[in-house]
Structure 1
Amino acid sequence: MATADTQAKLLVVVAGPTAVGKTALAIKLARHFNTEIISADSRQFFREMSIGTAKPDAEERAAVPHHFIDSHSITTLFSTGDFENAALATLNGLFKKHQVIVAVGGSGLYINALCNGLDDMPEIDLEVREKMNRLHREQGVEVIRQKLWEVDPEYAAIVDQHNPQRMIRGLEVFFSTGLKLSGMRTRTQKERPFHILRIGLNMDRAALYERINNRVDQMMAAGLLDEVQTLLPYRGLNALQTVGYTELFDYLDGKSNLREAVERIKQNTRRFAKRQLTWFRKDSAMHWFEPAMYAQIEKLVTGQLNSLPR
């Protein structure tokens, strides 16, 4: 009889736009298959960012062991490559106990790193890097955003528009090599010692946008503004260049009133969800469902498990 160590392994990836219901589905799957969850959300790594990142609550985390939530400080650099290496090491240990592991997140770059691996990145001209950083300091993020759309619109379409460092990365690669970062991300797929099943969640756009708006209201009621105020000394860190935080930093700077800031969070989150869907729809291996279709999803995972070599 096969043991957990000798059975073929399956990583079930639950992806999709923010607020669609990924966490609830992942927990339900993990409980059914008596397993654990890997978070592939680039903001939930950071322990200082809780309300604005929609982390699983204490009850949800008590129901199923989670990895890569509150695992790092915002003062620590934790790149996509760092995540790939750390997540693979964690999976190696978890697969000794379980045949199936669930990974969940809306960060396309991190899902891609976990499933496909990262291509080796080219050497960056340090003068180019300094020039791009200086441009950002002197002229602001909008100039960086416009330049990226000019030289690599494919990458611009999916990158976080409120994260200048990720946008600068695309410009660094282009102006150092003449090549687009978007063309380097998945040229070679690395071998993984496990099988992967990709589950994509989506719903009617109007319903999704209503969920996003309601979630932002709930975050504000839960104390998001207080959380952002405590992070003011760290506002320049890369981790905080993200939706839900930058808009409230602007409010605290007197650039908008609170109602305007909240509306901008909602608008920017809706735009972010649209970019997430654009990214994940390009993955031909993704199996798409609505969140309520749990029975069909569980059946698919069970069928995939039963088809694995023994």
Structure 2
Amino acid sequence: MTGNAKRLIVVVGPTAVGKTAMGIALAKHFKTEIISADSRQFYREMSIGTAKPDVNELTEVRHHFIDSHTIEEEYSAGDFERDVLSLLDMLFEKQDVVVMVGGSGLFVRAVCEGLDTLPKAPTVVRERLNDIFEREGLEPLQQKLKEIDPDYYRHADIQNPQRVIRALEVYEATGQPFSSYRVREMVKRPFEIVTIGLNMERQKLYGRINLRVDMMIEMGLVDEVRSLLPYRSKPALLTVGYAEIFDFIDGEISLEEAISRIKQNSRRYAKRQITWFKKYGDTVWFEPEDWQGILSFLT
């Protein structure tokens, strides 16, 4: 660390790579606390399908933004940016280092660089778009986005329903393409940011993903998803691990097919996460087991 600068260590990488364990190890080493930047772990009702830290992990180190909200609330990356910056002001009064862990690229970027100020769309607009998604799937929404905002379509993760629906919401609420709002320059934060990326050999990672999905099923993922049926149109539930089980509950596919799709979609999501973070900022990459290398880099 240089001088007396406060430092935020950000641990990123694909799902199942070992970010939680590394974050805890770093927080214990620096005697500090963890901020979760996983956009689904905020919600108390979503535990199994989001691979939250378990009870033992949560007692080892204090975590923030785990079970902090209910699925009934709308909680955006902009809300997260505001709340985390406020929390960091308090944490940095007593700590020189804070650790942030998560694979949600937009939420990480919100804290590290700031986001453009985007208008909020009326609830009825989101509900109508969600209804189209439920009835017809993602493809018609992707096509609509391609027509109205080809620039964002080329650069966005168009396999992510939340991103596609959000961009369409903004267009329908304002008449302006989503890309026209994405012009703000990166904000300089009053603390140092160091980003550590974790990655491993592809087949090993895929094996870990498959094993995690099997464990989720054993832990009761189907019952968790069933309990969330009244909220299935919420953006946080239009995601891997939940959407596929909803299809099973609806009788559209078998449980075996749902499990297979979760594994496949999780692997695809991991690839997108790696691509995002390799393009993002000054991420320095390590194997999850390379504790000494990471520690040497940080100190």
Tell me how far apart the structure 1 counterparts of residues 248 and 188 of structure 2 sit (CA, whole Å): 47
120-129 vs 80-89, which moves further: 120-129
Structure 1 CA distance, aligned partners of 2:234 and 2:78?
Answer: 19
Within the candidate set 67, 74, 79, 1:77 is matched to 74
Q: How far apart, in 1, do the equivalents of 2:22 and 2:37 lie?
A: 15
Structure 2 counterpart SS, 1:13: strand
- CA-to-aligned-CA distance 1:23-47 (integer Å, 9 cap, x gap): 0001000000100000000000000
Q: Does residue 288 of structure 1 match 2:285?
A: yes
Residue 194 of structure 2 corresponds to residue 204 of structure 1: no
Q: Secondary structure at the match of 1:69?
A: coil
Q: CA deviation at 1:283?
A: 1.7
1:33 aligns with 2:14: no
User: For the residues of structure 1 that align with 2:218 and 2:127, how far apart are their CA atoms?
Assistant: 41
Distance 1:215 1:130 in 2: 32
Q: CA deviation at 1:137?
A: 6.6
SS of alignment partner, residue 195 of structure 2: strand
- What residue is the counterpart of 1:161 in the other structure? 160
Give the conservation status (yes or no) of the 8 Å contact 1:13–1:199: yes
Show the 5 A alignment for 1:217-232: 217-232=214-229
Partner of 1:52: 49
- Does residue 88 of structure 1 match 2:80? no
State the 1:140 CA deviation: 3.8
Aligned with 2:193: secondary structure? strand
User: In the aligned structure 2, how far is the partner of 1:300 from the partner of 1:27?
Assistant: 17
Instruction: Give TM-score, length-normalised by structure 1.
Output: 0.86
Asked if structure 2 preserves the Cα contact closer than 8 Å seen for 1:118 and 1:186, the reply is no
Q: Which residue of 2 aligns with 1:246?
A: 243
Q: Distance in 1 between matches of 2:236 and 2:131?
A: 20
Measured on the aligned residues, the alpha-carbon RMSD in Å equals 2.5
The worse-fitting range, judged by mean Cα deviation, of 128-137 and 277-286 is 128-137
Deviations 1:185-239 (A, max 9, x none): 4741112111100111111111111111110001111111111111122212222
Counterpart of 2:145 in structure 1 is 148
AA aligned to 1:39 is S
User: Mean alpha-carbon deviation: is it higher for 212-221 or for 275-284?
Assistant: 275-284
Q: Does 1:118 align with 2:124?
A: no
2:232 pairs with 1:235: yes
Aligned partner of 1:3 in structure 2 is: none
Partner SS, residue 240 of structure 2: coil
Distance 1:51 1:130 in 2: 26
Matched, 1:9 2:15: no
Instruction: Output the amino acid matched with 1:102.
Output: V
Label 1:189 to 1:218 Cα distance change in 2 as closer, same or farther (>3 A): same
Task: Give 1:60 deviation, angstroms.
Answer: 0.6
Q: Which amino acid aligns with 1:156?
A: A
- Compute the displacement of 1:95 (Å): 0.7
Deviation at 1:242, TM superposition (A): 1.1
Alpha-carbon contact 1:16-1:22 (below 8 Å) kept = yes
Listed one character per residue, the Cα deviations across residues 87-139 of structure 1 (whole Å, up to 9, x for unaligned) are 11111111111100000000000000010011223687999879856754764
SS in 2 for 1:198: strand
Q: Deviations over 1:153-192 (max 9, x none)?
A: 34433x56243xx3122234457565453x7547411121
Would the alpha carbon gap of residues 57 and 247 (structure 1) be closer, same or farther in structure 2, given more than 3 Å must change?
A: same
Counterpart of 1:42, as a letter, is S
1:66 counterpart = 2:63:
yes
Kept after mapping to 2: 8 A contact 1:44/1:70: yes
Aligned residue number for residue 268 of structure 1: 265
Q: 1:93 to 1:132 in 2, by over 3 A?
A: same
The count of aligned residue pairs is 293
TM-score (norm 2): 0.89
Does structure 1 retain, via aligned residues, the 8 Å contact 2:130–2:233? no
TM-aligned CA distance change 1:220 to 1:67, over 3 Å: same
Alignment check: 8 A CA contact 1:42 1:107 kept: yes
Q: Are 2:19 and 1:22 aligned? A: yes
Query: 8 Å contact 2:127–2:233 — kept in the other structure?
Result: no
2:205 aligned counterpart, secondary structure = helix
Q: Which residue of 1 aligns with 2:254?
A: 257
Residue 55 of structure 1: CA displacement? 0.5
Residues 189 and 177 (structure 1), Cα distance of their counterparts in 2 relative to 1, 3 Å cut: farther
